Homo-oligomer: A and B are copies of this chain.
Amino acid sequence: MTNEQVVRPNIMAVLEDRGYRSTNSRRSIVHILEDKGSGFTAEEIGRELPSVGRATIFRTLKLLLEMGVICRLNLPDGPPKYSLSRVEHHHHTVCVVCGNVGEFRAATIERLMRTLSNEIPGDVIGHRIELYITCDLCSKENTN
């Protein structure tokens, strides 16, 4: 399993490279994302940026999603969580206590998925895996 240090792209630069304008709203949203990093909801961002319209929050998240710089996780309950993302294929851990989201890659999973596709009826074209965990921080807090 790899959990290497992520070198994240300059998100605003990526936006501009694709022809999108570097606006105040986008900059402030991206700034918050880079601050939070993982496991935030659209609503949380809106709360921290009352001057930015709700529609713009969602528009921007959608844009970043399309560009692959963030992920959206549809969890079993609660609103979807967004998190900054490395670009390559990966999966997620979600702490069931604090809601923090992590990324991980595991060659073993990908190998197994490739194997499975021979045994599943139909053509497997993708997969999605979430691990539910209690993170180290939350485990510690409980034993104090």
What residues make up the interface of A, taking CB atoms closer than 8 Å to B? 1, 3, 72, 74-76, 93, 95-96, 102, 104, 106, 108-109, 112-113, 115-117, 119-136, 138-139
Contact among B1, B74, B93, B96 for A74, CB-based, below 8 A: B74
Residue of B nearest to A138 (CB): B122
In the complex, how many angstroms separate the beta carbon of A100 from the nearest chain B beta carbon? 9
Query: Which B residue's beta carbon lies closest to that of A129?
Result: B129
Assuming the A-B contacts A1-B120, A120-B104, are A126 and B132 also in contact, with contact meaning beta carbons closer than 8 angstroms in the complex? yes
Can you list 26 pairs linking A and B with CB atoms under 8 Å apart? A1-B116, A72-B76, A74-B74, A102-B121, A104-B120, A106-B116, A106-B119, A108-B116, A112-B112, A113-B131, A120-B133, A121-B136, A122-B133, A122-B135, A122-B138, A122-B139, A123-B133, A124-B132, A124-B133, A125-B133, A126-B131, A127-B130, A128-B130, A128-B132, A129-B129, A129-B130
Residues A128 and B125 in contact, CB atoms below 8 Å apart: no
Q: When the two chains form their complex, are residues B122 and A115 in contact, meaning their CB atoms are under 8 A apart? A: no
Question: Inside 8 A of A128's CB, which chain B residues have their CB?
Answer: 76, 129-130, 132
How far in angstroms is the closest Cβ of chain B from A11? 21
